């Protein structure tokens, strides 16, 4: 969330030795895309249809990780999307050791300063565990503590830290733990730093693949469906006519509005430190840029994904150009649906709502926005878009960067990037490269 320590930026070095792996992974990705014959006709503008089949068939990989050797990692903390990155990094470390990741504890609460207030929540209370393994099982695997035999004590691995602990040393250390004398242990338990702070050794495509296997448990997915059908219903009412296809075809826009006080302080700070003066956007600037997005069919309902602290601020709903119908949780009448859940799940619901929008507008320095755009980019590629930079009904934009004719800049993830650097810490280099 907003006040994350951005000293994190210094933790990772850009120095990459995984280019070849990345190219290989990208080739595999391209191969898979070409095998996944795109649906003919107009299906691509109803992307929610492909969600449940979008992850790859697990048995296509033939390099399953062992089911009788495990990796245990520290509790995963911070915002939803930092937790997803940390989880994927833990999965990929386990894969490197050819081990199943013991189901980690996530954190339901955002209070990351006081460890005892982190409210651990089991992975399978949020994400569908069986589905994760059925979608990702040929690549990475998550296992339960109950499958441990406990015949040997866990081997404790302490992650190195400090400035001298380079990415190369970190990878060497991991490789050493493949050694037979350690490999005999049923569990390797990593202690120390939590996985978000580990060095990153994997290309974006590996992360993207794992994120796609993270589907919500049925109970939370039902809440996502309710929220989206409310959004479409107000959209249908705004259009004043019922569509022949039902409300399912009513498009909506989602904006991840990052304008909380603590975020504004943090982003100003970040601008000064990084010398990049397009991180912060005021409410006014966001409204102006969004008004200039080309090719929308008005009226269109706009779902504002924002922090609770902003829900009291009525002015957030006024000032939008004619034809944009802004709604947040309260005005939409879905606050109760969110309110019964802890922070982590509220954020996970918002993620899905933004993911499935016809148009998504976010901030390129937010992990939340960046992961949504990565996911949307992969969906576009899988839907067979040959040139994903052209206008589509599934576009994403970054409101903090000026695009053509006063619109926000079109945003696409560079799927072939060799590290997750720009996605975890933000970037203003978001043009179409794919």
Ligand X SMILES: *[C@@H]1O[C@H](CO)[C@@H](O)[C@H](O)[C@H]1NC(C)=O
**Phi and psi angles of residue 305, each rounded to the nearest 5 degrees, phi first:** -90, 110
- Which tokens in the block code for residue 404? 């053509």
Q: How far is the CB of 362 from ligand GTP (least distance, A)?
A: 8
Which of 27, 31, 43, 66 binds ligand X (CB under 6 A)? It is: 66
Residues 366-405 that bind ligand GTP (CB under 6 A): 366-368
Determine whether 166 is exposed, middle or buried from the number of CB atoms within 10 Å of its CB (0-12, 13-18, 19+): middle
Binding piece for ligand GTP, criterion CB under 6 A, among 78-86, 156-164, 168-176, 398-406: 78-86
CA atoms within 13 A on the CB side of 17: 9
Q: How far is the CB of 65 from ligand X (least distance, A)?
A: 5
Contact criterion met (CB below 8 Å) for 86 and 76: yes
Separation CA 376–CA 212 (nearest Å): 10
Q: Which of 137, 152, 56 is nearest to 95 (CA)?
A: 137
Q: How far is the CB of 391 from ligand X (least distance, A)?
A: 6
Contact criterion met (CB below 8 Å) for 180 and 129: no
Residue 226 vs 282, nearer CB to ligand X: 226
Q: How far is the CB of 265 from ligand X (least distance, A)?
A: 27
- β-pairing verdict for 395-402 and 408-410: antiparallel
- Which tokens in the block code for residue 302? 């706009």
Separation CA 288–CA 385 (nearest Å): 29
Contact criterion met (CB below 8 Å) for 100 and 94: yes
Residues in contact with ligand X, total (CB under 6 A)?
A: 29
Q: How far is the CB of 366 from ligand GTP (least distance, A)?
A: 3
- Which tokens in the block code for residue 158? 């302490």
Q: How far is the CB of 405 from ligand X (least distance, A)?
A: 18
- Which tokens in the block code for residue 351? 């993620």
Separation CA 414–CA 137 (nearest Å): 25
What is the contact mask toward ligand GTP in residues 278 to 317, using x (rule: CB under 6 A)?
Answer: ---------------------------xxxx---------
**Phi and psi angles of residue 409, each rounded to the nearest 5 degrees, phi first:** -75, 135
Residue 109 vs 173, nearer CB to ligand X: 173
Q: 417 touches which of ligand GTP, ligand X, none (CB within 5 to 8 A by kind)?
A: ligand X
- Say whether residue 150 binds ligand X (CB under 6 A): yes
What is the contact mask toward ligand X in residues 390 to 409, using x (rule: CB under 6 A)?
Answer: -x-x----------------
Q: How far is the CB of 145 from ligand X (least distance, A)?
A: 4
Report the 10 Å Cβ neighbour count for 326: 19
Separation CA 357–CA 363 (nearest Å): 16
Which of 55, 76, 77, 81 binds ligand GTP (CB under 6 A)? It is: 81
Alpha helical stretches, state H, 67-151: 80-96, 123-126, 129-136
Which of 43, 261, 340, 433 binds ligand X (CB under 6 A)? It is: 433
Q: How far is the CB of 344 from ligand GTP (least distance, A)?
A: 8
Residues 237-266 that bind ligand GTP (CB under 6 A): 256
Binding piece for ligand GTP, criterion CB under 6 A, among 48-56, 66-74, 92-100, 360-368: 360-368
- Sequence-ordered list of residues with C-beta below 8 angstroms from that of 308, at least 6 positions apart, any chain: none
What is the contact mask toward ligand X in residues 93 to 112, using x (rule: CB under 6 A)?
Answer: --x--x--------------
Give contact residues for ligand X (rule: CB under 6 A): 45, 57, 59, 63, 65-66, 95, 98, 145-146, 148-150, 179-181, 229, 233, 236-237, 247, 251, 297, 391, 393, 414, 417, 429, 433
């Amino acid at each position: 969330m907003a006040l994350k320590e951005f000293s994190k930026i210094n933790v990772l070095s850009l120095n990459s030795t995984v280019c070849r792996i990345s190219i290989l992974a990208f080739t595999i990705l391209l191969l898979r895309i070409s095998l996944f014959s795109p649906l003919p006709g107009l299906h691509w503008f109803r992307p929610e249809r492909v969600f449940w089949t979008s992850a790859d068939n697990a048995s296509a990989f033939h390099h399953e990780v062992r089911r009788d050797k495990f990796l245990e990692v520290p509790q995963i903390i911070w915002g939803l999307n930092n937790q997803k990155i940390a989880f994927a990094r833990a999965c990929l470390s386990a894969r490197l050791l050819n081990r199943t990741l013991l189901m980690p504890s996530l954190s339901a609460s955002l209070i990351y300063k006081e460890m005892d207030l982190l409210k651990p929540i089991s992975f399978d209370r949020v994400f569908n565990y069986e589905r994760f393994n059925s979608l990702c099982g040929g690549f990475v695997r998550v296992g339960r503590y109950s499958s441990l035999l406990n015949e040997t004590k866990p081997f404790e691995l302490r992650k190195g830290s400090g400035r001298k602990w380079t990415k190369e040393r970190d990878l060497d250390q991991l490789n050493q733990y493949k050694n037979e004398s350690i490999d005999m242990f049923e569990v390797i338990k990593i202690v120390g730093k939590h996985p978000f702070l580990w060095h990153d050794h994997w290309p974006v495509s590996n992360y993207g693949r794992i994120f796609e296997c993270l589907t919500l448990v049925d109970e939370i997915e039902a809440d996502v469906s309710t929220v989206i059908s409310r959004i479409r219903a107000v959209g249908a009412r705004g259009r004043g006519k019922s569509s022949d296809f039902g409300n399912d075809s009513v498009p909506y826009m989602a904006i991840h509005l990052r304008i909380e006080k603590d975020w504004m302080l943090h982003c100003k700070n970040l601008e000064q430190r990084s010398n990049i003066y397009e991180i912060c956007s005021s409410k006014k600037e966001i409204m102006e840029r969004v008004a200039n997005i080309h090719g929308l069919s008005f009226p269109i309902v706009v779902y504002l994904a924002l922090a609770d602290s902003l829900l009291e601020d009525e002015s957030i709903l006024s000032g939008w150009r004619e034809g944009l119908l802004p709604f947040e949780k309260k005005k939409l009448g879905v606050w109760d649906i969110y309110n019964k859940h802890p922070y982590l799940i509220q954020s996970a619901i918002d993620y899905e709502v933004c993911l499935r929008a016809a148009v998504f507008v976010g901030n390129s320095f937010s992990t939340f926005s960046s992961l949504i755009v990565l996911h949307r980019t992969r969906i576009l590629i899988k839907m067979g878009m040959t040139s994903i930079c052209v206008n589509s009904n599934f576009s994403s934009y970054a409101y903090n960067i000026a695009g053509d004719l006063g619109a926000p800049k079109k945003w696409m993830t560079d799927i072939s990037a060799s590290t997750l650097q720009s996605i975890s810490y933000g970037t203003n280099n978001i043009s179409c490269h794919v």
